[in-house]
Amino acid sequence: MTDTRTLAAPAPAGIFPASPANLLIGATAKAGTSGVVRGIEAATGAELEPAFGGATAADLDAACALAAAAVDPYRALPLEARAAFLEKIAANILEIGDNLIVRAMAETGLPRPRLEGERGRTVGQLCLFAGVVRDGGFLDLRIDRSLPERTPLPRSDLRLRNVPVGPVAVFGASNFPLAFSVAGGDTTSALAAGCPVVVKAHSAHPGTSLLVGEAVRKAVADCGMPEGVFSLLYDSGRSIGQGLVADPRIAAVGFTGSRGGGTALMKIAAAREVPIPVYAEMSSINPVVLFPAALAARGADIARAFVGSLVLGAGQFCTNPGLVIAVEGEGLDGFIAAAATALGVQDAATMLTPGILAAYDSGVAKLAVNAAVGIVARGAAGEGPKGQAALFTTTADAFLADRALHEEVFGAASLVVRCAGPADVEAVLGALEGQLTAALFMDAGDHDAVRPLLPLLERKVGRILVNGFGTGVEVCHAMVHGGPFPSTADGRSTSVGSLAIARFLRPVCYQDLPDALLPPELKGEGAPNMPVRRDGKLVRGSVE
C-alpha cells in the first residue's frame, strides 16, 4: 500500500514574506517579537520557512481590549449582517486556493484529498451557521404576556432571549488544521452567537493559520464589522495561551487537544476572580461493542472496516476506535484473525508532529510490555519517523483491574477486551470514563442483548452508533460531538453541529420592560417569521 501522506510537496515559495505580519490584532497586522514559532514539515522533520513571531503580553492585552469593545456593536447588528459575515469568511477561504492546501499538507503530513475535504467541511459549517443565524431559533425567544386579572396574583409581562456571553478564546487543534482551527467549529459557532473571538494559533500549523486568519480579517473589513470581532495570536511558549484564559475580558474558551492541556486551562479558568466555562474536547477511546449474531454473520467484514477506521488519518481522530469489547468465542476469534491480516499490510504513516509520534510510540510500548496484554498485530514498518499501527488484546478481568489500560493512545492503536459473557461486557462499559462515541455492531438477533445496555451507554457517551464507526462526524443539526468528562469538559455541550452555538449564549429575561425599550425580536407579539414560544405555544412570530 502506498502512503500518499509522504507525497506532500513543500509549501511553495512566496506565500509569506521573510518576516510575516502574523499577529492579526483587530485591523492591525504586525510581526510577532516574542520568540519564534516555526512550522515543521511532517513527512521529513525539516523546518519550514518562514519563522512566525510570538505575541507579547501587550499584544494579548490589545486583542482582548478590542474584543471587549466589539461585543455590544457586534451583537447589535442585524442577524442578516452576521450571517453574511460568516458566508464571506467561507468565500474568502475558498479564494486562498491551492496555497492553503499545499501549505497544510507540508505542515501536517495530511494528504490532499483529506485536506480538500476538510476545507469543504470548514466552508460548509460556516454556511450552516449562517442559516442558523438567519432562522433566529437559537435566540430561544419566549413571551409570556401579562395576566393582570389573574387571581390570586396577576402575572407580569415576561420576555426572554439568548444573548452572547462575550469574547471567546479559541485554541486551534493539531489534527484538524482547518475544521477545528482558526475558522473552525469553535470560532464559527462563537461568531454566530454574536461573540468576538481571539484565536491562539496552533504551533503545528502556523502558516496554515495565518492564511485562514487573513481570510477572516478580510471578511471583517469587507462586511464592516467592528475590528475587534477577530484577532489571531501566536504563542512561542505557553504564557499567551494561559494569559488569554486568565484575561478578565474573556468570557468562555473553546479547546480541542490533550487531556493535560484541557484540564490545565480549566484550572486557570476556575481560579479567576470570575470563573468562566472551558469547552474542552480532550480524551476518548470510543468503545466498539461486537454482538454475537453480527460476529457470526459478518465478523470478517466488520474487522476489515474496523482496521480502515483505525488507521484513517494515522489514527489521529478523537473518535478513533481505541477499544473493542466482545464475548469470547469463534466469532471473536474470527474477527481478531481478520483484523490482524488487514492490519499487517497497513503501511506506517506520517503523524502530525514529532511530539505526537513520540507520545504514540510511548503509549504503544507501554501496552506491549504489560504482562496482561497480548500483541495481535502490527502494521508494516516504514522508513523515517512514522507511526506503526498496533492491535492488542486482554481479558475483561485485566482491563477492570488496570486503569492504565483505559488510557487513550492517540494514533492507530486499539485494544480488544475478551469477555466471558454479557455481564463482563456490561462491567467493562460501566468502568469506562466518559466517551465521545460508542459503536454497536449488531444484527436483529442481537437486539435483546443490546437493549439493557442502552441506558448505561446514554450515561457514558455523547453519540451511539450502530454498524458504523465514529470516525465520520456529520456537521448538521442533530449531531452531538461531546460527552461526559474527560471526553469533554462539559458533557451537556457539543462542538459540532448547530447546537454548538448554545455554548456561547446565556438567557436574559425582561420583566415589564416598555415595548419601546425591548429588543426588536421581542416587541409586541414577536418578530415576524422568527420562532417564538408565546404563552407556552411555539409559533413563528406574529403568525399563529
d(Cα 527, Cα 425) in Å, to the nearest integer?
52
**Which pLDDT belongs to residue 73?**
98
The answer to whether residue 141 sits within a structural domain is yes
What pLDDT does 542 receive?
A: 53
Of the residues 64, 195, 318, 419, only one is catalytic, namely 318
**Which tens digit of pLDDT belongs to each residue from 9-60?**
344 446 899 899 999 999 999 999 999 999 999 989 999 999 999 999 999 9
State the chain's mean pLDDT as an integer. 95
Q: Which helix (DSSP H) or strand (DSSP E) does residue 159 occupy? A: strand 158-164
320 pLDDT exceeds 70?
yes
pLDDT of residue 1: 31
Q: Among candidates 186, 183, 145, which has minimal Cα distance to 24?
A: 183
Q: What pLDDT shows up at residue 451?
A: 97
> Are residues 249 and 325 both part of a single domain?
no
Q: What's the pLDDT at 385?
A: 82
Instruction: Please indicate, yes or no, whether residues 265 and 312 belong to a single structural domain of this protein.
Output: no
459: CATH: 3.40.309.10
Structural domain of 396: 287-466
Q: pTM for this one? A: 0.94
pLDDT at residue 4 tops 80: no
pLDDT, tens digit (0-9, with 9 covering 90-100), for 134-170? 999 999 999 999 999 999 999 999 999 999 999 999 9
118 as an active site residue: the answer is no
**Same-domain status, 117 and 199:** yes
In this model, does residue 381 exceed pLDDT 90?
A: no
Residue 486 in any domain: the answer is no
Which helix (H) or strand (E) segment is 484 a member of?
none
Q: Are residues 315 and 248 in the same domain?
A: no
pLDDT reported for residue 242 = 98
The answer to whether residue 534 is domain-embedded is no
Shared domain check, 136 and 26: yes
pLDDT digit string (tens) for 264-300? 999 999 999 999 999 999 999 999 999 999 999 999 9
Query: Does residue 420 fall inside a structural domain?
Result: yes
pLDDT tens figures, 78-87: 999 999 999 9
The grid coordinates listed for 168 are 471567546
pLDDT reported for residue 140 = 97
| Burial grade of 538 (CB within 10 A; 0-12, 13-18, 19 or more) | exposed
Question: What's 430's DSSP letter?
Answer: H
Q: Which of 227, 281, 433, 521 is catalytic?
A: 281
Question: At which of 232, 262, 282 does a domain end?
Answer: 282
Q: Bridge partners of 279?
A: 254
How does residue 383 score in pLDDT terms, banded at 50, 70 and 90? confident
pLDDT at 447: 98
> Residue 482 to residues 35, 168, 179, 286: CA-CA distances in angstroms?
35, 19, 16, 12
**Would you state the pLDDT for residue 472?**
85
Of 212, 247, 282, at which residue does a domain stop?
Answer: 282
Domain CATH code at residue 73: 3.40.605.10
The cell for 247 is: 484575561
Is the pLDDT higher at 193 or at 15? Answer: 193
Q: Is there a domain that residue 11 lies in?
A: no
Number of domains in the chain: 2
Query: What is the pLDDT averaged over residues 406-415?
Result: 97
**Co-location of 301 and 401 in the same domain:** yes
Q: Is the pLDDT of residue 210 over 90?
A: yes
| Residues 118 and 26 both lie in one domain | yes
Residue 281 appears among annotated catalytic residues: yes
DSSP string, 201-264: --TT-HHHHHHHHHHHHHHHHHTT--GGGEEEE--SSSHHHHHHHH-TT--EEEEES-HHHHHH
